[in-house]
Amino acid sequence: MTNAIKLLATSVGASTGVILALIIAAIVAGMQLFGVGITGAIALYFVVWWIMLFAVLPFGVRSQLEDGDVVSGSEPGAPAAPLLVEKAIWTTIVAGLVFLLAVALMPLVGL
């Protein structure tokens, strides 16, 4: 799966398409399986996606200092290769799962 995501991350169009398809699939699944309205599903997914983004961002980050290749004029602790497109795909996958879990648990807490 990691190799497939790395391959998708090389094309902006393909990665954008996959991200949008995963987002739509998660929102539609939440609406159909658990009866959430469209506005509530989009709002909840948006919040979950941003929280998951900040959880996923630090994974696999190596600083320029750790790589031994510090660019002149930059912070040595800055990422050598942030891999943001890959992280956006991973964030979307994780956010979809967390969103569906949250929507499934909502009736149990009375929401």
Q: What is the DSSP string of 48-81?
A: HHHHHHHHHTTTT--BHHHHT-PPTTS-TTSBS-
Q: Which domain holds residue 102?
A: 2-109
* Alpha-carbon separation of residue 109 from 42, 63, 75, 101 (angstroms): 20, 42, 46, 13
Span 99-110, average pLDDT: 92
pTM for the structure as a whole: 0.86
pLDDT class of 88 with cuts at 50, 70, 90:
very high
Q: What is the pLDDT of residues 32-74, one digit of tens each?
A: 999 899 999 999 999 999 999 999 999 988 888 888 888 888 8
**What is the Cα 35 distance to its own chain's centre?**
24
User: Residue 109 above 90 pLDDT?
Assistant: no
The number of domains in the chain is: 1
